[in-house]
Chain A
Amino acid sequence: MSFGAFRALNDVSLDVGHGEIRAIIGPNGAGKTTFVNIVSGIFKPTSGRVTLEGRDITTLSPQRRARLGLARTFQITSLFKGMTVSEHLQLAVRDADADGETRRELLEQMGLAAFADREVDTLSHGDQRILEMAMAMVLKPKFLLLDEPTAGMSIAETDRMIRLIIERLRGRIGVIIIEHDMNVVTQTSDKVTVLAAGAVAASGLPQDVLRDPHVKEIYLGSAANH
């Protein structure tokens, strides 16, 4: 993926299986969000392919990908001002059989039932992030892209998000999670891929990758070795 002369991603290939949670980590500017934007269809890759369950979706628009079961959340909370929590879920539900009861159940499971009729502007940052997650989940996706789901959250809110990811997603659908918090990465992910300067620097089990001195140097800088 190139922006003019700048190559943001170079020969990055990931194969995430059904039920697998894959974390992508790396320093700022490594190309993590660019990767998610390519997979979700916001950016068109200069070369390469994106497939979902074997189907080539490279040329499809973001909305077509969403309808095929590819959901995502954003690094910066992206909710709609003036709409209630419940209205957000109604907006996310395109499926006629995902009725009000399904939405209520989901709100209860996500701990948002008490806020159903509140406008989203009045929610805490943590609840807004959880609502983003709920909007993605009510789509019943086959694959989910989580872009820094715990960004800006308190420790308690982060723990709540970790529990949701483990209980609601692990083993059920394929997930790519971009995360800076290593605690979240080790607790939720089956595999970790490290991106650095737009290329894959390492990939493997979380405990192996995070112990790798090369990864420490890339991710934490040369200070990690001192």
Chain B
Amino acid sequence: MRDRVGIVTALGVLAVLCAIAPLVGEFWSGVLARCVSWMFLAISFSLAYSYANIPSVAQATVFGAGAYAAVWATSLVGGNMILIMTAGVAAGALIALVFGALLLKMSHSGAAIGTIIFAVTFSMLGNAAVAYTGGTDGLPMPAQAFHLLGMPFAVGPNIGMLLLGSAVLAALLVAFWLFSGTRTWRVVRAVQQNAMRAQVLGYNAAGYRLAVFAVSGCVAGLGGALYALISRHVAIEVVSLSMSLKSILWAAVGGVTSIYGGPIGVLAVQLASELLLRWTVRVDLIIGLMLIAVALWMPRGVMGLRRSRSSQQSQ
């Protein structure tokens, strides 16, 4: 079943971001552009958790792989942004396929612990491989004449990247919305709800879960590539466990069972953090309290409010 309200809400949020960008200036456009790249990460967690049934605490590792792949690809192929983003997608898919193949051999809770181990291990490996990752100092995006579809493009925390990131995300969300009405998506939902039942109907449940997890990897990898283009720099903190935990928080606030919730979750948490920073240094404390409130009173996140309201009205 296609979620019309969800897609309209998510596209509406992106449209508002793009509309206000010229009014808020370069700094806030850069903040919003980074937020858009993180929206991919939040969506990838929702896909992995709610549709591949893999509680992945390693989505930032996949996001980071996309970001580093973008930097490495820029050194190799120059400033062709389509190729750079493709490199991010491919890296994300590859890492997710490897992780997924291992995680599917584990139980649900075992997979959660497994992803923590992956996240920590890759973070340590990244720190150790300073020559390739730059370690904590990170790697700058090589200076290139960046171009998109033959036209020069200025990368960095600017309005152009905000518009590009939003356009790519909007296209992804629309593609997902169209796909969610297909028979294949119905099978994905069936596998997610009861894998054994789906198997005795003739479906390869493990194959479907791995495919969805690989798609979540593509989404995270694409987000990582955009992040690298926006930040023009990638450090190892991008693949840290705390970054993965942030992606869970964004997804939880937006509504983890809906991929349309990710954009709302990122904006709510990150904008609140940015605004609170102007008045207090205890931002993490306030955000933490906010999240406890969400967990207690909005367990389905913002997108879940619609269902709660409609069920209250029907009672």
Contacts and interface: CB of A to CB of B under 8 A. Distances in A.
A139 B204 CA distance: 16
B200 A80 contact: no
B193 A66 contact: no
Interface stretch (A27-35, A47-55, A89-97, A200-208): A89-97
Given A82-B1, A82-B189, A83-B189, A91 B194 contact: no
A135 B194 CA distance: 15
Contacts of A226: none
B289 interface: no
Nearest to A81: B193
Contact of A90 (B186, B200, B202): B186
Contacts of B199: 41-42, 61-63, 66
A83 B200 contact: no
B205 interface: yes
Nearest to B205: A63
Given A90-B183, A91-B186, A80 B202 contact: no
Contacts, number: 55
Contacts of B200: 40-42, 62-63, 65-66, 71-72
Contact of A78 (B183, B197, B202, B204): B197
B201 A139 contact: yes
A40 B196 CA distance: 11
A92 B189 contact: no
A91 B191 CA distance: 11
Nearest to A95: B202
A7 interface: no
A66 B202 contact: yes
A42 to B, nearest CB: 6
Contact of B201 (A82, A87, A135): A135
Contacts of A74: 197
Interface residues of B, number: 17
Q: Is the interface of A mostly helix, strand, loop or mixed?
A: mixed
A67 interface: yes
Contact of B196 (A42, A71, A80, A83): A42
Interface in B155-202: 183, 186-187, 189-190, 193-194, 196-197, 199-202
B225 to A, nearest CB: 34
B31 to A, nearest CB: 37
Contact of A80 (B194, B204, B205): B194
A114 B33 CA distance: 51
B205 A91 contact: no
A91 B196 contact: no
Interface in A74-127: 74, 78, 80-83, 87, 90-92, 94
B145 to A, nearest CB: 50
Given A90-B186, A91-B186, A91-B187, A80 B193 contact: yes
A62 B196 contact: yes
A221 to B, nearest CB: 33
A63 B191 CA distance: 12
B104 to A, nearest CB: 13
A65 B203 CA distance: 10
A52 B75 CA distance: 58
Nearest to B202: A66
Given A80-B193, A83-B189, 8 more contacts: A42-B196, A42-B199, A62-B199, A63-B204, A66-B199, A67-B202, A80-B189, A80-B190
6 contacts: A42-B196, A42-B199, A87-B186, A91-B183, A91-B201, A92-B201
List the 7 closest A-B pairs by CB distance, nearest first.
Answer: A66-B202, A62-B199, A78-B197, A67-B202, A63-B199, A80-B190, A80-B193
Interface of A: 40-42, 61-63, 65-67, 71-72, 74, 78, 80-83, 87, 90-92, 94, 135, 139
